[in-house]
Amino acid sequence: MDNILRLVPHPDGVNHSVDGFKVGFSVSHEGQMWLRYHVDCEPSLLTLDEPQEKIGRADRLWETTCFEVFLKKPGEMGYLELNFSTARKWAAYSFEKYRGGMRNQRLVENPEIYLDGSDSHIALEVTMQLPSQFSGEALDMGIAAIIEEKGDTKSYWALAHPPGKPDFHHEACFAFNLAAPVIP
């Protein structure tokens, strides 16, 4: 069953263009994750990288419009960060603790990344196989995004925000408990 969550902007950010933001998702017992980031906006007002024909890994995606998901096992310090761009680029990092012990996380295969839109929205859809340590388990999940508008204005979106500046790695952002998938 697919779930839909709404993201909220960081209270100190500036947002001129986004009218609403929701994310649909599902995770199978085998660790197949599907995400659909749906942004209600006029796409021409945003800074979006042109979709590339070839999907591939790239770093520093968060410097412009970027869609993210964070996963960790409840009670553990380590977590996984996944980033996706409108250019169909992705990144995966594992952390041993809050912003510490970062290393590139290998994935079995490139995620499938699709972009669609109209005059009133953009949507980025991702299907991917999670690393084995995140398959078939209950997980705490954070979903987030950076939306860059033309003119270098950025807004920061998440399920929840901690006090202070935007920080998607903060414990408060892991705001959704994803129950272990049920074996059919």
Supply the CATH number for residue 74's domain: 2.60.40.1190
Asked if the structure places residue 184 within a domain, the reply is no
> Which residues span the domain enclosing 133?
3-178
139 Cβ contact list (under 8 Å, min separation 6) = 27, 71, 72, 73, 74, 177, 178
Would you state the pLDDT for residue 30? Answer: 87
Give me the number of domains the chain comprises. Answer: 1
Within 13 A of 21's CA, how many CA atoms are on the CB side? Answer: 21
Would you state the pLDDT for residue 131? Answer: 93
Asked if the structure places residue 183 within a domain, the reply is no
Element (H, E) at 34: strand 32-40
Would you state the pLDDT for residue 13? Answer: 84
pTM of the model: 0.95
> How far, in Å, CA of 171 to CA of 163, rounded?
11
Point out which residues pair with 97 in neighbouring strands: 100
Asked if the structure places residue 38 within a domain, the reply is yes
> How far, in Å, CA of 43 to CA of 92, rounded?
26
What would the pLDDT profile of 45-91 be if each residue is shown by its tens digit? Answer: 999 999 999 999 999 999 999 999 999 999 999 999 999 999 999 99
Asked if the structure places residue 138 within a domain, the reply is yes
